[in-house]
Structure 1
Amino acid sequence: MDKIKAFKYHLALSICVISFVSALIVFFWFPFPFLLLDGTWLPLSLVAVIDLILGPFLTLVLINEQKSLREVCFDFCVIFIIQLSALGYGLSQIHGQKIIALVHLDGVFHLVTNEDLKGQKLHSNLGVVTLSKIPLVRIDESPELMSVSSLDTKLMFNTTRYLPVEIQKIKPFFPYSRLPQELKAQIAETKKLKILVGKKRTSVLIFSDSGLVEGIELFPRNYNGLK
């Protein structure tokens, strides 16, 4: 088999696979803007680059016109196993960062991932308020609870403490006056606003008077009005 032709076919197949996987991640696992908020675009890029390079490169190295059909089939099986293993490992790491809930604690919302919850399940009654099908929940911050629990990661990641979001229970709201001008042009002054803190970016959640999420906007990277 001609190795250049095999390389081209393998590269085309790898591009198709990566395109499908990227679409799955961008549109279903991390709908906009969660890929930017969480910073998962970096491992996604690495998975894409490694998978695109690894398979076709191994094809160039292993495939030889002098080999028999049996040897060529064996080489392709080895390449397939290596490439599939690399892709599977990368996807498992990305899936661990999939956003499961937006948790309100200490005045702002936080991203909570698969990895954070370590297999815990969310109660079905928590999906009253959602954003891109991701439930918004709050932690019971009553004085009785806070007297025995500090505001630490264990509290935020304990699903037994989760309650449905109620608009009256997540006050105070973020002042409209502190928004940058570019966001003021997109958000009505009458809207109720809450901060959503991501690992890489920060955004503002826009609530209606009834308590439903109407939208989300990213803060500029260099904005200092949150401090």
Structure 2
Amino acid sequence: MTDTRTKTPRERYRTQVRAEIKEHAWEQIAAAGASALSLNAIAKRMGMSGPALYRYFAGRDELITELVRDAYRSLADTFRTVAGAGAGADLAGLAHALRAWALDDPQRYFLVFGTPVPGYHAPDDVTEIASETMAVILDACAALPSDRPAAPFDAHIEGHREWAAGHPAAPAVLRRALTVWTRLHGVLSLELAGHFTGMAFDPARLYAAELDDLLER
């Protein structure tokens, strides 16, 4: 990353304006969802013309890509910090870090793990960052002892492992990682969407119970 001290005044101004645009974009997403993101509305909020704002972001998809990239990079950095804090990745530590990251900014969480934005496709570099987070989960799952017998799904997943981005994990580890990923995100998505409201139990305890069950298995 370029040191801001070496940037010209024009480059620093451009960086500041792009950051302000992204702040307004998050406000729009919080109010109406990513599918309603409007660069023209952001330009109006900032006292700019539409064409002037398009000098900073070429279109809606470029702005969404920047937001998605920031979100995945934030999660990847969070996982890397957890994995680097001990002797390799620890699944329990990663799970608790994931929940803290999600609760810290639910809109950021839903942008990458919620309903896909219609018509939007993330570029390869964003997919690669997302793969970094799954690679850390795969490493953590591979480090766990397991005497689970082979399951029919193992043979299927062995032939459909593109999502693992070249990770050498055995089929049983791939299955475990997917199980962890789907169950933890299931609880988080329901909690952040407010579906546990009024059910009179602590979602944190449910999340912890799911994690305990995953570790025992």
Select the structure that is richer in strand: 1
Select the structure that is richer in helix: 2
TM superposition score normalised by structure 2: 0.25
